[in-house]
Amino acid sequence: MIGSDIQRAASLLKTGQVVAIPTETVYGLAANALDAEAVALIFAIKKRPAFDPLIVHIHSVEQLRAFTSGQVTTDAIRLVQTFWPGPLTVVLPKAEVIPDIVTAGLPTVGIRMPAHPVVRQLLSILDFPLAAPSANPFGYISPVNAAHVADQLGEQIPYILDGGVCQVGLESTIVDCTTSPCKVLRLGGISIREIADALGYIPESLTHSISNPRAPGMLTTHYAPRKKLILTSDESVFAHYAGQPEIAFLRSCTPFTGHKIQYLLSSDPYDDRKAASRLFSLLRELDSNPLIKLIIAERVPDHGLGSAINDRLTRAASEIR
């Protein structure tokens, strides 16, 4: 059931149940992060492999200290002061109270303070943090509104807390702060440039190591629609398919002349934030439209959130040209 009753969501979570929650990035599938049995339900509902750790959502910086061990590093402090609440996850050594199932047995934990007012209010009335992966079946596109969650997981969870459309539309940027200098594990709602400005140096980005089990969000199968998607920045590929039926073009901001089914990520001029916020909705729409058999997607300009958008498009693609 979809609803906007924060108290009801809180009561369900207090009794060890799983509830879908809105965040500014994507919807999450949440449970009490300190309750291993409740967290096990998340893995079962999502069909998520046990090696893929969950992010822990908090509402105060004191909780960051409570759920990590050792000193919060200078880099982590700089990052959270700049970007929290918001689409940033920091990875630090975990405190004992965090059950191993949350972190997939890793000695570290990913922590994030979300900005969405509904989840902030929910967290403020709970005396525990929320473990939450994106609220989609493992490997599929992340949900950015309550209906997306209901379509795929509605039968399996007692409540979907509706907070409208997610404004960022891409998952959080994950930064591993267990090393100095720190490293970016996943591109997301905060650009590398913004991270670098806060840190005072450009961090290494490990997001291309697709076999790295420490960042399973980076598996190539992630964010994939069921339909075939070809990713390209070559206009001749669009020219080749132009005019053919049952093929959709997903373009940055300008339509390709002479083709019927076209979707634009952004209005013209191109706006990376707008494109990010529309990406997952459009991919779902394309995937569920029975008139479409093949998607040809254009790589977006690589600046700002563009590199995260291209990252998701690359993972969604069955072919790159």
Q: Does residue number 134 form part of the binding site for Mg ion (CB under 5 A)? A: yes
- Of the residues 91, 190, 192, 248, which one makes contact with ligand TXA according to CB under 6 A: 91
Q: Does residue number 273 form part of the binding site for ligand TXA (CB under 6 A)? A: no
- Amino acid identity of residue 112, one-letter, is R
Residue 46 or 59 with smaller CB distance to Mg ion = 46
Where in 14-149 does DSSP place strands (E)?
19-21, 28-32, 55-57, 88-93, 108-112, 130-131
Q: Print the binding letters for residues 71-90 with ligand TXA: x by CB under 6 A, - otherwise.
A: ----------------x-x-
Q: Does residue number 252 form part of the binding site for ligand TXA (CB under 6 A)? A: no
Half-sphere exposure of 18 (CA within 13 A, CB side): 25
Q: Does residue number 205 form part of the binding site for ligand TXA (CB under 6 A)? A: no
Residues 6 or more apart whose Cβ sits within 8 Å of residue 62: none
- Of the residues 12, 26, 146, 153, which one makes contact with ligand TXA according to CB under 6 A: 26
Instruction: Point out which residues pair with 160 in neighbouring strands.
Output: 2, 20
Picked from ligand TXA, Mg ion, none, the partner binding residue 108 (CB below 5 to 8 A depending on kind) is ligand TXA
For the purposes of burial, counting CB atoms within 10 Å of the CB of 113, is it exposed (0-12), middle (13-18) or buried (19 or more)? Answer: buried
Picked from Mg ion, ligand TXA, none, the partner binding residue 73 (CB below 5 to 8 A depending on kind) is none
- Of the residues 34, 101, 174, 308, which one makes contact with ligand TXA according to CB under 6 A: 174
Q: Does residue number 22 form part of the binding site for ligand TXA (CB under 6 A)? A: no
CA dist 56 and 193 (Å) reads 25
Q: Print the binding letters for residues 68-107 with Mg ion: x by CB under 5 A, - otherwise.
A: ----------------------------------------
Picked from Mg ion, ligand TXA, none, the partner binding residue 297 (CB below 5 to 8 A depending on kind) is none
Record the tokens describing residue 23, joined without a space: 């965040």
Residue 256 φ then ψ, to 5°: -90, 125
Record the tokens describing residue 203, joined without a space: 């961090």
Count CB neighbours of 46 within 10 A. 23
Q: State the nearest-atom distance from the C-beta of 123 to ligand TXA, in Å.
A: 12
Q: Does residue number 23 form part of the binding site for ligand TXA (CB under 6 A)? A: yes
Please count the residues of the chain.
321
> Which of 65, 147, 125 lies closest to 98, judged by CA?
65
Count CB neighbours of 178 within 10 A. 17
Helix (H, G, I), strand (E, B) or coil at 11: helix
Segment near ligand TXA (CB under 6 A), from 62-70, 212-220, 243-251, 297-305? 212-220
Residue 103 or 232 with smaller CB distance to ligand TXA = 103
Q: Does residue number 190 form part of the binding site for ligand TXA (CB under 6 A)? A: no
> Which of 146, 106, 175 lies closest to 19, judged by CA?
146
Binding residues for Mg ion, per CB under 5 A?
Answer: 134
Binding residues for ligand TXA, per CB under 6 A?
Answer: 23, 25-26, 28, 52-55, 87, 89, 91, 103, 106, 108-110, 112, 132-134, 171-172, 174, 185-186, 214-217
